[in-house]
Amino acid sequence: MTMLSGISRKTLRDQRFGLLGWAAGLILLIAMYVAMWPSIRDQPSMRTLLDQMPEALRGLFSAGGADLSTPTGYVQVELLAFMGPMLLLIYAITTGAAAIAGEEEHRTADLLLTCGVRRSDVVLHKAAALAAGVTALALVTGAALVAEGALVGMHLPAGRVAAAMLHLALLALVFGSLALAIGATFGHAGASRAIPAAVAVLAYVVNGLGQVIGWLRPVRKLSPFYQYLGHDPLRTGVSVAALLVAGVTVAALLGVAMLGVRRRDFSAQ
């Protein structure tokens, strides 16, 4: 196992400054949201503003029934609906794209893929590093929310926050695995960043508008954003069904990545 963990370990080691930067950014961002909370809580007009928004717009903010004057409602609208997933997705997609396509882009694939490690194992252990990185960032986000919130009296239930972070990590992992699969199968670093980003925007819109547009409603459940936020994890906790769907999606995408990487020619460019 040392051989295999070597790849994951190196991948994480390469990212150590990047990960620290991401973590610091998330902590600061949450501090900013937390600092604004007391003033927003005492501002009934914010609630009115949300209520007056067209339903479609409210859907996009995933603010269906969110009450901005409660800590959970505030966090849901401000952080979980958009900013949090966007940041974690950027991290996951760039990391997934770098896994195989990035090694090719930097011409290091010739080294990595000729030292006696099976290609599918390389994919698996790059995926393990991705999962570890995403988990670390989700943990930091959750811990910062609970700890920083407590400082200003914005008390959040730790268990529910953990559930939301679990679903958030899986959401990021779905798109990170998609980037990894595209990179492993086609070796194109640009495409393996751009396509998952575009799919994520689409999935986000489908989930948001699916709440109000009738014909989108059945499609909505296919959106990874629905698996993430559809059951309102800050209020209801973990949804096993959503976990399963996201888990199976990740597994399927990694399967595609392993098959794709094994079939490919790595020719000199």
Partner 1 sequence: MVRFDRTTPVRAPLAHQLPDGRVSGKARARPAVQLRGVTKFFGSTRALADVDITIDSGEVFGYLGPNGAGKSTTLRLIMGLIRPTRGSAEVLGLDCWRQAAAAQQLIGYVPGEPALYRKLTGQQHIEYLSALRRIACLPRAEQLARRLDLDLSRRAEALSKGNKQKLAIVLAMMHDPRLLVLDEPSTGLDPFARDALLGLIRSHAEHGGTVLLSSHVLDEVQRIADRVGIVRAGRLIAAERLGELRATSLHHVNARLGEPVDPAEFTGIGGILDVWISGVEVRMKAPQASLDAVLGRLIRHRIEDLSCTEADLEETFRTFYGGTDDHVERHQP
Q: Which helix (H) or strand (E) holds 194?
A: helix 189-209
Report whether 171 contacts 228 (CB < 8 A): yes
Non-local CB neighbours of 80 within 8 Å, separated by 6+ positions: 62, 164, 168, 229, 234
Select 61 or 266, whichever has its Cβ closest to partner 1. 266
In Å, how far are 8, 111, 128 from 3, measured between CA atoms?
9, 15, 14
Q: Which stretch binds partner 1 (CB under 8 A): 77-85, 104-112, 168-176, 231-239?
A: 104-112
Select 39 or 267, whichever has its Cβ closest to partner 1. 267
Task: Output the smallest distance, CB 108 to partner 1, in A.
Answer: 5
Choose, by CB under 8 A, the member of 23, 50, 117, 243 that binds partner 1: 117
- Alpha carbons 177 and 170: distance in angstroms, whole number: 10
What number of CA atoms fall less than 13 Å from residue 210's CA on the CB side? 19
Task: Output the smallest distance, CB 188 to partner 1, in A.
Answer: 16
Task: Output the smallest distance, CB 269 to partner 1, in A.
Answer: 8
Task: Output the smallest distance, CB 9 to partner 1, in A.
Answer: 8
Q: Which of 110, 132, 118, 159 is nearest to 15 (CA)?
A: 132
Q: Would you count residue 106 as binding partner 1 (CB under 8 A)? A: yes
Q: Which of 173, 267, 179, 157 is nearest to 227 (CA)?
A: 173
- Alpha carbons 85 and 137: distance in angstroms, whole number: 11
What is the footprint of partner 1 within residues 1-60 (CB under 8 A)?
2-3, 6-7, 10, 14
Select 47 or 188, whichever has its Cβ closest to partner 1. 188
Choose, by CB under 8 A, the member of 26, 80, 113, 143 that binds partner 1: 113
Task: Report the interface residues with partner 1, using CB under 8 A.
Answer: 2-3, 6-7, 10, 14, 106-119, 263, 265-268
